[in-house]
């Protein structure tokens, strides 16, 4: 079992002074964080082991262990299967005394864990999952949705592109609930901003060859081809679009969900010019660069994606709330987290709304040309910043039952 041992001796010594009072409310005297992520397929690189590393760094940086608290981190692979994920979550809560689950890329698994967490009165910090339902119909007093969601992606990328003249769209959508949601939200934004949708095609998940779909997109003569898919599907469609001369022919690609690791996998010669929305980029300021350097040393040289940053930021804020309350009771901690403004080196200052939505700015970025890049992982230039109050879905539109 993977655990953070910290410096046990230091803890023991410091603990001798501080522990007695501090741990009165901490269940079994340990704050236990469970990182539930995809360790074996699609999302391994952009979350996976990196999320565990990020959580560990947050614990170390918080210095909470020096003040007499014991913190443990466990991790598991949900294999992108809702039933596997929910079984692990139950077991963690019931027998392993886990207090909070973090990350969970994959909306299906996240929705299941969301419900279980609520039933058990624990805490759930979502970084990896995209579904905006988590702060909408399925919102819960025990869940905070940290990093991004489908609404924000659609709004950021879709809105910005229409404003700069990309007003006719063709969607290439993964034929899955997630792809449909992304497509639906983006289409709404495009139409609202005065654009038009000329066509769409829905491809099965994990398609290898996109040439047929790309030809259809080409024939539509849309200015923008919106990629409402993820992971390997996105990288393959971008790669083959370059091959079929689609970008050279004057059409542009809009990646609705592209991560730093995807760009790394594609390489700049193929990915250059791609426009996408992120809430975190490692090369923003000194603090984020310092974080990226330390992170890369721990995760096979991978630089942090926004999901990794989200895990770090969420765990940091969680530990602050635990310390303030001197309790790790899930419902109370989440309530405390919501009422305290957030402040961390990666996302800066922010807030958490009543529906569980963490609010921070989003960045519209463009992938650099090979000549502009100084080396591996130097990939983005920021084109626009979407202010925090406009980046996410307005509270009233979410249909969250907690907000009345």
Q: How far is 294 from 57, CA to CA, in rounded Å?
A: 9
The interface mask with another protein, positions 260-279, x = CB under 8 A, is -xx-xxxx-xx---------
User: CA-CA distances (angstroms) from residue 174 to 96, 157, 229?
Assistant: 37, 18, 5
84 binds another protein (CB under 8 A): yes
209 binds another protein (CB under 8 A): yes
Comparing CB distances to another protein, the nearer of 19 and 55 is: 55
Q: Which residue has the tokens 């997630």?
A: 178
Among 14, 27, 30, 44, binds another protein (CB under 8 A): 44
Enumerate residues 96-125 that contact another protein by CB under 8 A: 106-108, 111-112, 115
Comparing CB distances to another protein, the nearer of 11 and 39 is: 39
Q: Which two tokens stand for residue 313?
A: 């930021």
232 binds another protein (CB under 8 A): yes
Closest approach of Cβ 109 to another protein, in Å?
9
Among 169, 213, 280, 318, binds another protein (CB under 8 A): 213
Q: How far is 316 from 320, CA to CA, in rounded Å?
A: 6
**At a CB cut-off of 8 Å and minimum separation 6, what does 161 contact?**
224, 252, 254, 275
Closest approach of Cβ 361 to another protein, in Å?
26
Enumerate residues 133-172 that contact another protein by CB under 8 A: none
Among 39, 161, 189, 322, binds another protein (CB under 8 A): 39
231 binds another protein (CB under 8 A): yes
Q: Which residue has the tokens 């010019």?
A: 273
24 binds another protein (CB under 8 A): no
How are beta strands 348-352 and 362-367 bridged, if at all? unpaired
175 binds another protein (CB under 8 A): yes
212 binds another protein (CB under 8 A): yes
Q: What is the DSSP string of 11-45?
A: HHHHHHHHHHHHTTBSGGGEEEEEEEE--SSTTTT
Q: How many residues touch another protein (CB under 8 A)?
A: 75
331 binds another protein (CB under 8 A): no
369 binds another protein (CB under 8 A): no
Apex CA 345: angle with CA 145 and CA 308, to 5°?
50
Among 51, 143, 235, 342, binds another protein (CB under 8 A): 235
Q: How far is 8 from 24, CA to CA, in rounded Å?
A: 20
298 binds another protein (CB under 8 A): no
343 binds another protein (CB under 8 A): no
82 binds another protein (CB under 8 A): yes
Comparing CB distances to another protein, the nearer of 22 and 260 is: 260
Comparing CB distances to another protein, the nearer of 230 and 391 is: 230
Using CA atoms of 58, 59, 63, 66 in order, give the dihedral in degrees to the nearest 10.
-170
- Of the candidates 101, 92, 103, the one whose C-alpha atom is nearest the C-alpha of residue 124 is 101
Comparing CB distances to another protein, the nearer of 270 and 316 is: 270
Other CB atoms within 10 Å distance of the CB of residue 71:
26
Closest approach of Cβ 202 to another protein, in Å?
5
Evaluate whether 172 touches 236 at the Cβ level (below 8 Å): no
């Amino acid at each position: 079992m993977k655990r953070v041992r910290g410096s046990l001796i230091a803890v023991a010594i410091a603990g001798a002074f501080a522990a007695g009072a501090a741990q009165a409310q901490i269940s079994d005297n340990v704050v236990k964080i469970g990182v539930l992520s995809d360790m074996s397929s699609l999302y391994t690189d952009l979350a996976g082991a990196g999320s565990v590393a990020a959580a560990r760094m947050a614990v170390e940086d918080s210095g909470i262990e020096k003040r007499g608290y014991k913190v443990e981190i466990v991790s598991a692979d949900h294999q992108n299967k809702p039933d596997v994920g929910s079984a692990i979550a139950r077991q963690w809560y019931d027998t392993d005394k886990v207090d909070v689950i973090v990350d969970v890329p994959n909306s299906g698994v996240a929705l299941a864990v969301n419900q279980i967490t609520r039933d058990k009165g624990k805490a759930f910090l979502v970084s990896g999952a995209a579904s905006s339902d988590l702060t909408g119909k399925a919102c819960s007093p025990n869940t905070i949705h940290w990093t991004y969601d489908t609404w924000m992606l659609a709004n950021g990328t879709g809105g910005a592109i229409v404003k700069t003249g990309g007003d006719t769209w063709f969607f290439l959508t993964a034929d899955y609930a997630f792809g449909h949601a992304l497509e639906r939200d983006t289409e709404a934004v495009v139409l609202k901003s005065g654009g038009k949708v000329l066509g769409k095609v829905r491809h099965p998940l994990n398609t290898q060859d996109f040439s047929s779909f790309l030809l259809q997109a080409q024939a539509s003569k849309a200015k923008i081809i919106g990629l409402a898919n993820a992971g390997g599907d996105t990288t393959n469609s971008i790669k083959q679009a370059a091959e079929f001369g689609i970008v050279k022919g004057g059409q542009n690609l809009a990646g609705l969900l592209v991560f730093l690791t995807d760009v790394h996998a594609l390489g700049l010669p193929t990915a250059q010019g791609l426009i996408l929305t992120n809430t975190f980029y490692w090369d923003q300021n000194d603090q984020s660069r310092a974080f990226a350097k330390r992170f890369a040393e721990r995760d096979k040289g991978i630089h942090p994606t926004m999901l990794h940053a989200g895990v770090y930021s969420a765990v940091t804020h969680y530990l602050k709330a635990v310390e303030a309350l001197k309790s790790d009771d899930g419902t109370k901690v989440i309530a405390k987290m919501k009422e305290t403004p957030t402040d961390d080196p990666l996302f800066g200052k922010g807030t958490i709304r009543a529906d569980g939505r963490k609010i921070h700015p989003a960045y519209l970025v463009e992938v650099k040309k090979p000549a502009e890049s100084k080396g591996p992982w130097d990939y983005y230039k920021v084109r626009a910043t979407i202010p925090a109050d406009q980046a996410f879905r307005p509270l009233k539109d979410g249909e969250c039952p907690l907000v009345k």
